[in-house]
Amino acid sequence: MIEVESLAAIRAGNRILDAITLSVAEGTVTTLVGPSGGGKSTLLRCLNGLETFAEGRVTIAGHRLSAGDHAPRALERVRRDVGMVFQGFNLFPHLSAIDNVTLAPRIVRGVPPAEARRRGLELLQRVGLSRFVEARPATLSGGQQQRVAIARSLAMEPRVMLFDEPTSALDPQMSAEVLDVIVELARGGQTMVVVTHDHGFARRAATQVVELVAGRVHRAGPAAEILAGSGH
Amino acid sequence: MTPARSGGRWRCWPAAVVWLLAAVPGAGLAAELDEVLARGELVWAADQEGGGPHVFVDPDDPTRLIGFEVELAALVAGELGVKARFQQGQWDRLPLLLGRAADCVVNGFESTPQRARDWRCSRPYFAYALQLVARRDSALDSLEALAKAGPRGPWRIGVLTGSAAEIEMRRRSDLAIEVVGYDGTVDCLEQVRGRVLDAGLMDDCIASFNADRFGELRGVGRPFAGGTYTILTAPDTPRLSAAIDEALGRLITDGRLKALYDRWDLAGRQQMLLLRDAAEVPPAPRGSLADLIRGALPLLLSSAGMTILLSVASFPVAILIGLSVAVGRLHGPAWLRPFLACYVEILRGTPLMLQLYALFFLLPKAGLALPALVAAILGLALNYSAYESEIYRAGLKAVPVGQFEAALALGMTKWQCLRHVLVPQAVRIVMPPVTSDFIALFKDTSVCSAITVIELTKRYSVLALSTGRIAELAIVTALLYLAMSWPLSLLSRWFERRLEQRCERAPG
Ligand SMILES: Nc1ncnc2c1ncn2[C@@H]1O[C@H](COP(=O)(O)OP(=O)(O)O)[C@@H](O)[C@H]1O
Ligand SMILES: [Mg+2]
């Protein structure tokens, strides 16, 4: 589902990602771990074309991204098939929960409004927010907002989901709510890459663990091996 | 940026009212004869924009004013034993200068009953009659033709605002005409030449003075509705007025006035005959305040309607253009951005008045004659679009970058991000400054009177000068403005409160 070959990214003269090669099989969960500043976010954002890279190749959900690719049309096609959930939620504050969820299907995929709403209600129910359909983001807790954000991504029916520290801005209880949703998705066979510091999550759901240190793959392998090796 | 600017306009507006109130005739500030003599100067007011042959800029030496009234003022001052000093003012508001910036007005002011009531009028110093001027190829070929509408509907007749020509035309309900008021006769002639107007009505001496410059125009019919010019002084200056009368008397008797008029090709002999027999114009009776309000209120209200029309028609256009320019500057193609930046700087860096003037008086020369109302709305819209674009630019920048990324990550195109995510949020962010700009625009509509659109301020000034009730009408007008802008400022404050509440509730 995802193949990364010899990817390198340069920012402000530094190779902040170098010689990254990894692959993610369909229906599996990969967690990206490693110290802060290691390049996890940058790698994730290279996967859906939010950031560009200088060398290497990415194949994701049947699309190919090459170094220096900027063509907006191609990137839009990739992003339609690749969802992303951010640490800071980034919900659209001027829209209700349901409108956040239905906006992209309607305007990007051209789903009829009634159909989009039906799907949106289903998704909000799946993330446990049936009671907050018409709520504005500002009136929701962080955990609730992140669950809306997940539903918003899922509404595009992405083949791959990318999560960038989805629970780092949340307290433990809200984290648990959000992680339960992600674990549930994983069980449902959703291919995903999750940046996280939460080893508990990795143990529960990860198929593969990749550790990035200073822009390079430090360790990578089946979750059981790596997590056992890390001594946790 | 915006608060300071609209603040500036807020400050201007009460100042204008104070100025109007201070301009009440007989406020006890007028300089009587002794002060003029002690000062050694007679300050006379006129409008050099009014044009020749009265007072105009010497084409050979633009620093010098010439005209028969320049020479007359010098002669009168000489008779009083003092020097003459010129004071510039806008023609229809010149009498307001009396008693503060000027001792007298010498600028083709016709003797009318209203003026005799509100000011001191000297004995006549010049006889005029009204001349209709049209294009040589116009269907308007006689005065009688005015009785029936022309091929384009009622004849559009330009007049100098506040002049006897305007009074005469507005009085004639029997004619199929639409009267358009101008601040300068040359502007009016230009618009006759450009076919915006069917004809202009003006004093015969002005028509003949401009005959060479406007070769495409000709006089239609004989001059009619004659009258005389008078020198105006403040109401409480009987001795100054009497001294001016005596001076004029001497100038008439000893032939110096005739010689002056002959020099200016103004038929001195005929002038003397007419002046000798000119009857004094009796002052009009002063109506009661109740009658005044009853008569003026409908006119003021309909002009307030024009003020509202100008604002609500131009502001949405300004916002649309401003938003497009802002989006173009932030997200448009690189080659477009410098052009948009120039657009903003040019419109912000030049006065609204100049822009209106260009749209109304210069575009017809390029073959595009806009109706005054369209030019006014367009001018306001363009001018304010520059300010709105800056506001929206700031608003768009204030939307967190994560919003753009989240939208992109969902597969939206850049324009979909803008349309559905960035712009709706920017619009909410800029609501307070935009609302306060609307109030500023609302007051700026008064500038449109420069291009013949009669809105509330212009209507006030016309009514005030024709009734002499300057202070009373100023209060009524101010109340009308407040009644219109008060709800707007309430609205703007409401938006601001709402935004604050939103910010408080929003996390982090
Ligand atoms: N646009 C950029 N310009 C300069 N440095 C950058 C840029 N983006 C990321 N970096 C640097 O690259 C490194 C990796 O960042 P990031 O991918 O956010 O790491 P992580 O998510 O693992 O904490 C950091 O040292 C960061 O400062
Ligand atoms: Mg990161």
Are A1 and A24 a contacting pair, CB within 8 Å? yes
3-state secondary structure of B180: strand
Please state, as a whole number, how many other Cβ atoms lie within 10 Å of the Cβ of residue B62: 8
Among chain B residues, the shortest Cα distance to A86 is held by B406
pLDDT of residue B468: 79
Among chain B residues, the shortest Cα distance to A104 is held by B410
Instruction: Tell me the helix, strand and coil percentages in chain B, rounded to 5.
Output: 60, 15, 25
Percent of chain B with pLDDT over 90: 56
pLDDT of residue B472: 87
pLDDT of residue A81: 94
User: Which residue from A13, A21, A79, A87 is spatially nearest to A51, judged by alpha carbons?
Assistant: A79
What is the rounded CA–CA span in Å between residue B36 and residue B54?
A: 23
What is the CATH code of the structural domain delimited by B127-226? 3.40.190.10
Q: What is the pTM of this model?
A: 0.80
Contact A142 B424 (CB under 8 A): no
Which residue among B409, B428, B507 places its CB closest to the CB of A48? Answer: B409
What are the tens digits of pLDDT across the range B421-460?
A: 999 999 888 988 888 898 899 889 999 988 888 889 988 9
Tell me the average pLDDT across B302-309.
92
Residue A73 Cα, ligand 2 centroid: separation in angstroms? 26
Q: How many contacts, defined by CB atoms under 8 Å, are there between A and B?
A: 72
Q: Which atom of ligand 1 is nearest to the CA of A35?
A: 22
- At residue B23 the predicted structure's pLDDT band, cuts being 50, 70 and 90, is very low
Parallel/antiparallel/unpaired status of strands A63-66 and A14-24: unpaired
pLDDT of residue B10: 41
Residue A183 Cα, ligand 1 centroid: separation in angstroms? 28
Residues of B with CB under 8 A from a CB of A: 400, 402-403, 405-414, 416, 420-421, 424-425, 428, 502, 505-507
Is it the case that residue B507 has pLDDT exceeding 50? Answer: no
Is it the case that residue B11 has pLDDT exceeding 50? Answer: no
Percent of chain A with pLDDT over 90: 81
Report chain B residues whose CB lies below 8 A from the CB of A142: 507
Is it the case that residue B187 has pLDDT exceeding 70? Answer: yes
CATH of the domain at A114: 3.40.50.300
Are A206 and A29 a contacting pair, CB within 8 Å? yes
Please state, as a whole number, how many other Cβ atoms lie within 10 Å of the Cβ of residue A36: 8
Q: Does A135 touch chain B (CB under 8 A)?
A: no
Provide the number of structural domains found in chain A: 1
Token pair, residue A228, equals 């056992």
Token pair, residue B157, equals 């007749």
Report chain B residues whose CB lies below 8 A from the CB of A93: 425, 502, 506
CATH class of the domain defined by B289-505: mainly alpha
Tell me the residue range of the domain where A128 lies: 2-228
What is the rounded CA–CA span in Å between residue B81 and residue B479?
A: 46
What are the tens digits of pLDDT across the range B91-150?
A: 888 988 888 889 999 999 999 988 998 899 999 999 999 999 999 999 888 889 999 998
- At residue B499 the predicted structure's pLDDT band, cuts being 50, 70 and 90, is low
Residue B104 is which amino acid? C
3-state secondary structure of B458: helix
Q: Which atom of ligand 1 is nearest to the CA of A43?
A: 17
Interface of A with B in 30-69 (CB under 8 A): 48, 50
Q: Which atom of ligand 1 is nearest to the CA of A34?
A: 22
pLDDT of residue B354: 94
Q: Does A113 touch chain B (CB under 8 A)?
A: no
Tokens 């009505």 belong to residue? B201
Contact B425 A48 (CB under 8 A): no
- At residue B30 the predicted structure's pLDDT band, cuts being 50, 70 and 90, is low
* Ligand 1 environment, Cβ below 6 A: A 11-12, 16, 36-42
Instruction: Tell me the helix, strand and coil percentages in chain A, rounded to 5.
Output: 40, 25, 30
Task: Tell me what the pLDDT averaged over chain A comes to.
Answer: 92
* Burial category of A110 from C-beta neighbours within 10 Å (exposed 0-12, middle 13-18, buried 19 and up): exposed
Bridge partners (DSSP) of residue A15 are A10
Tell me the average pLDDT across A30-38.
93
Report chain B residues whose CB lies below 8 A from the CB of A94: 424-425, 428
A62 or B490: whose pLDDT is higher?
A62
Tell me the average pLDDT across B8-23.
46
Q: Could you tell which of A42, A43, A197 is best to mutate to test the pocket of ligand 1, judged by most ligand atoms within 8 Å of the CB?
A: A42
Question: Which residues, at least 6 apart from B177, have a Cβ–Cβ distance to it below 8 Å?
Answer: B146, B154, B155, B156, B157, B169
Token pair, residue B10, equals 């807020």
Among chain B residues, the shortest Cα distance to A81 is held by B411
**In this structure, what is the dihedral angle of CA atoms B164, B166, B170, B174, given to the nearest 10 degrees?**
80
Are B97 and B202 a contacting pair, CB within 8 Å? no
User: Which residue from A98, A181, A71, A91 is spatially nearest to A137, judged by alpha carbons?
Assistant: A91
B184 or B256: whose pLDDT is higher?
B256
Question: If you take atom 16 of ligand 1, which residue's CA is the nearest one?
Answer: A39
Parallel/antiparallel/unpaired status of strands B56-58 and A82-85: unpaired
- At residue A28 the predicted structure's pLDDT band, cuts being 50, 70 and 90, is very high
Q: Rounded to a whole number, what is the distance in Å from the CA of A219 to chain B's nearest CA? A: 28
Question: If you take atom 7 of ligand 1, which residue's CA is the nearest one?
Answer: A11
Q: How is the beta sheet containing A29-33 ordered, strand by strand?
A: A82-85, A160-164, A191-195, A29-33, A208-213, A216-222
Tell me the average pLDDT across B278-289.
80
Contact B425 A84 (CB under 8 A): no
Please state, as a whole number, how many other Cβ atoms lie within 10 Å of the Cβ of residue A232: 9
Is it the case that residue B71 has pLDDT exceeding 70? Answer: yes
- At residue A229 the predicted structure's pLDDT band, cuts being 50, 70 and 90, is low
What are the tens digits of pLDDT across the range A138-168?
A: 999 999 999 999 999 999 999 999 999 999 9
Tell me the average pLDDT across B383-404.
95
Is it the case that residue B9 has pLDDT exceeding 80? Answer: no
Which residue among B410, B420, B506 places its CB closest to the CB of A93? Answer: B506
Lowest mean pLDDT of A197-201, B10-14, B297-301, B468-472, name the range.
B10-14
What is the rounded CA–CA span in Å between residue B435 and residue B426?
A: 14
Report chain B residues whose CB lies below 8 A from the CB of A60: none
Percent of chain A with pLDDT over 70: 98
Task: Tell me what the pLDDT averaged over chain B comes to.
Answer: 87
What is the rounded CA–CA span in Å between residue B123 and residue B250?
A: 12
Token pair, residue B37, equals 């003599």
Which residue among B406, B413, B502 places its CB closest to the CB of A86? Answer: B406
What is the rounded CA–CA span in Å between residue B92 and residue B184?
A: 10
Tokens 């010049």 belong to residue? B126
What is the rounded CA–CA span in Å between residue B415 and residue B425?
A: 14
Query: What is the full DSSP assignment across B304-356?
Result: HHHHHHHHHHHHHHHHHHHHHHHHHHHHS-TTTHHHHHHHHHHHHHS-HHHHH
Residue B152 Cα, ligand 2 centroid: separation in angstroms? 72
Architecture of domain B31-123+230-276: 3-Layer(aba) Sandwich (3.40)
Q: How far apart are the first and last CA of chain B?
A: 27
Q: How far is CA B72 from CA A51, B69, B75, B119, B257, in A?
A: 80, 5, 5, 20, 8
Are A10 and A54 a contacting pair, CB within 8 Å? yes
Contact B408 A79 (CB under 8 A): yes
pLDDT of residue B323: 94
- At residue A131 the predicted structure's pLDDT band, cuts being 50, 70 and 90, is very high
pLDDT of residue A201: 87
Residue B423 is which amino acid? V
User: Which residue from A202, A106, A189 is spatially nearest to A152, judged by alpha carbons?
Assistant: A106
Q: What distance lies between CA A50 and its chain's CA centroid?
A: 12
What are the tens digits of pLDDT across the range B221-275?
A: 999 988 999 999 998 899 999 999 999 999 999 999 999 999 999 988 888 888 8
- At residue B501 the predicted structure's pLDDT band, cuts being 50, 70 and 90, is low
What is the rounded CA–CA span in Å between residue B406 and residue A153?
A: 9
Are B95 and B87 a contacting pair, CB within 8 Å? no
pLDDT of residue B55: 93
Residues, chain A: 232
Which ligand has the nearest atom to the CA of A45? 1
Token pair, residue A157, equals 């029916």
The CA radius of gyration of chain A, in Å to the nearest whole number, is 17
Contact A104 B410 (CB under 8 A): yes
Q: How many C-alpha atoms does B368 have within 13 Å on its Cβ side?
A: 8
Question: B410, B418, B499, B503: which to substitute to probe chain A, counting the most A Cβ within 10 Å?
Answer: B410
Among chain B residues, the shortest Cα distance to A102 is held by B410
What is the rounded CA–CA span in Å between residue B255 and residue B250?
A: 8
Tokens 């110096």 belong to residue? B256
Contacts 24+ apart (CB under 8 A), B257-264: B257/B72, B257/B75, B257/B125, B260/B68, B260/B71, B260/B72, B260/B75, B261/B68, B261/B126, B263/B68, B264/B53, B264/B68
Residue A36 Cα, ligand 2 centroid: separation in angstroms? 7
Which ligand has the nearest atom to the CA of A50? 1
Q: Which atom of ligand 1 is nearest to the CA of A164?
A: 21
Residue B448 Cα, ligand 1 centroid: separation in angstroms? 56
Which residue among A72, A81, A152 places its CB closest to the CB of B413? Answer: A72
Interface of A with B in 167-226 (CB under 8 A): none
Residue B187 Cα, ligand 2 centroid: separation in angstroms? 68
Q: Using omega within 30 degrees of 0 as the cis cutoff, is the peptide bond preceding B53 cis?
A: yes
- At residue B63 the predicted structure's pLDDT band, cuts being 50, 70 and 90, is confident
Q: How many C-alpha atoms does B403 have within 13 Å on its Cβ side?
A: 22
Is it the case that residue B217 has pLDDT exceeding 60? Answer: yes
* Burial category of B57 from C-beta neighbours within 10 Å (exposed 0-12, middle 13-18, buried 19 and up): middle
What is the rounded CA–CA span in Å between residue B250 and residue B294?
A: 45
Domains B31-123+230-276 and B127-226 share a fold: yes
ipTM of the complex: 0.94
Question: Which residues, at least 6 apart from B172, have a Cβ–Cβ distance to it below 8 Å?
Answer: none
Q: Rounded to a whole number, what is the distance in Å from the CA of A187 to chain B's nearest CA? A: 23
User: Which residue from B60, B54, B89, B58 is spatially nearest to B73, judged by alpha carbons?
Assistant: B54
Percent of chain B with pLDDT over 70: 92
Residue A34 Cα, ligand 2 centroid: separation in angstroms? 10
User: Which residue from A198, A208, A92 is spatially nearest to A155, judged by alpha carbons?
Assistant: A92
Are B353 and B449 a contacting pair, CB within 8 Å? no
Token pair, residue B113, equals 């009953």
Q: How is the beta sheet containing B232-233 ordered, strand by strand?
A: B83-88, B41-46, B104-105, B232-233, B120-121
Q: Which atom of ligand 1 is nearest to the CA of A165?
A: 21
Which residue among A81, A90, A108 places its CB closest to the CB of B406? Answer: A90
